[in-house]
Structure 1
Amino acid sequence: MPYTQLFYHLVWATKERAPLITPRVRPMLYGFIRAKAVGLGGTVFAIGGVEDHVHIVTSVPPRIALAMFIGQVKGVASAKVNREGILGDIRFSWQEEYGAFSFDRKRLPYVVAYVEQQEEHHAQRRTIRVLERVNDVEDAMLREDAPDYVPDYEAWLIEMNAL
């Protein structure tokens, strides 16, 4: 089996940003999302969100395309919400778009914390704008200064050996 470290921060919204993910719905919806992601071979590190969108921190096995993983997780979650009548007569569905961001293991705790604290971030209007994006309407990139990526060789060796 190949060895990979593929970490993703995924975000997607309800259809027309309908505020359907209430505190009552969240545990069930998040359970459906987690179960399908794990069933596909993923590891879920965190799920969070607010009334109109969810964030997931996950790893995805390289044998499955990221778009397929997201499509299957979204599809199963919405189908189960509807089949189980969690929202009564209201039909639950997602927007087609999604945001997907890759990151390295060193940033995993920070991304997990950001996702787990979604309600607080939104209440305080302290979200990271690019990590809330679900489409390419704006042309923005998440970028860090180059010096963060060019450590001296000895520091890099120590960091890599610590993994």
Structure 2
Amino acid sequence: MVVQVVSPGKVAIVTNQANSLSHTKWMRKYHIVITLKDRRKLIDNQYRKSLEEMLRQLCRYKGVEIHEGHLMPDYVHMLVSIPPKLSASSFMGYFKGKSALMMFDKHVNLKYKFCNRRFWSEDYYVSTIGPNEVAIAKYIMEQEAHGIVLDRLSGKEYGDPFKK
């Protein structure tokens, strides 16, 4: 395990150790981005904690290790290690399907916001990680702060229209 300072106060833990199964040594890391259906901004304080617990639980079930992850208001960024017995596409199908069912079971009011019980959009982004793991971990860590700054810059202050 290598610890590298990314910026003041932030460190990235980079594991260059190979994982192992009974007859296999492997080191497969993926950068994953999945978005909510119609980019709805629903991952807030009300749903954030339960969604985070569900995603961790689903990864644990399949033996997937989460190295870095952030829940943004309308998408999820993750840096994960997927074992070679799973393909990235089969894991994503399982991950998106089960997490959507679990969210609709736990938060019944979501079925009125999403028609046909589709929580995630159909597409997703998966990229393999090579020697630029530290740069991607830094990018994922900084996404939340960058999103907050952009919201503040683009946010329009609305006054009371009935006051003069």
Distance 1:107 1:51 in 2: 26
Q: Tell me the TM-score normalized by structure 1.
A: 0.68
CA deviation map 1:133-154 (0-9, x unaligned): xxxxxxxxxxxxxxxxxxxxxx
1:102 corresponding residue in structure 2:
128
Partner of 2:66, secondary structure, is strand
| Aligned 1:6-155 pairs, distance under 5 A | 6-85=28-107, 87=109, 89-91=112-114, 93-104=119-130, 106-125=131-150
**For the structure 1 residues 86 and 112, does the alpha-carbon distance in structure 2 shift closer, same or farther, using more than 3 Å as the test?**
farther
Give percent identity, aligned residues only.
23
- Superposition deviation, residue 86 in structure 1: 6.3
Q: Tell me the TM-score normalized by structure 2.
A: 0.68
- Superposition deviation, residue 112 in structure 1: 2.7
Note the aligned Cα RMSD (angstroms): 1.9
Partner of 2:135, secondary structure, is helix
Distance 1:48 1:99 in 2: 15
1:135 corresponding residue in structure 2:
none
CA deviation map 1:78-101 (0-9, x unaligned): 111110116554346000100011
User: Which has the larger Rg?
Assistant: 2
Aligned residues, how many?
Answer: 124
1:3 corresponding residue in structure 2:
25
Distance 1:26 1:86 in 2: 15
Q: Name stretches of at least 5 consecutive residues in structure 1 with no aligned partner.
A: 126-163
Q: Name stretches of at least 5 consecutive residues in structure 2 with no aligned partner.
A: 1-22, 151-164
Contact 1:48–1:56 at 8 Å: present in 2 too?
yes
